[in-house]
Amino acid sequence: VLNSLFIITFAPLVSRLWESKYNPSATMKNAFGMILLGIGFAALAYGSSSIPSGAKFASVSMIWLILAYFFHTMGELFISPVGLSYVSKLVPGRMIGIMFGIWYLAIAIGNKIAGTMGGQIDKITAQYSMSTFFLIFTLIPIALGLLIMLLNPMIKRLMHGVH
């Protein structure tokens, strides 16, 4: 419910932002989206920091989950529509259908990998803490977002003027 609520609430605001003078390139939108995703996991890492290693049951404030949903949804709003738009802009017309299929296949593969990684939670929390588990997923997307920002000039050249 929260994801849907946040999408309905914030999609028009994000869309309006893209129509204003504050419209970053698609590459930067992707980078910001990854950083927002990492911030969502940072909320979970901080919220779970009081859970001891190996704990089978714990209680934490719901605010951390709400914040995670918020930042994950905002990251999704920065990545998903922009990615779909740029698939249609950058791909030759005869290949658009196949590339949209590959886009969704990549999402499916990512979901499978996410499920596999999530299945490691018991191993990681037995040795470390729940916070460490979420910290892994904080650092990876933030690092990826920063890497995308660094590679932005090169990626812009490869996009042949498509903005």
Band (12; pLDDT cuts 50, 70, 90): very high
Indicate the domain borders of the chain. 2-158
- Name the least confident of 72-76, 119-123, 137-141: 119-123
Q: Is the pLDDT of residue 47 over 90?
A: yes
pLDDT tens across 86-108, in order?
888 888 889 999 999 999 999 99
* pLDDT score, position 67: 97
User: What is the C-alpha to C-alpha distance for residues 54 and 149, in angstroms, rounded to an integer?
Assistant: 37
* pLDDT score, position 5: 96
| DSSP string of 96-136, one letter each residue | HHHHHHHHHHHHHHHHHHHHHHHTTHHHHHHHS-HHHHHHH
- Name the least confident of 1-10, 50-59, 130-139, 149-158: 50-59
* Average pLDDT estimate for 102-126: 91
* pLDDT score, position 163: 66
pLDDT tens across 57-69, in order?
888 899 999 999 9
Q: Please report, for residues 126, 135, 156, 157, the alpha-carbon distance to residue 141 in angstroms, rounded to integers and kept in the order given.
A: 24, 11, 21, 24
* Average pLDDT estimate for 75-87: 91
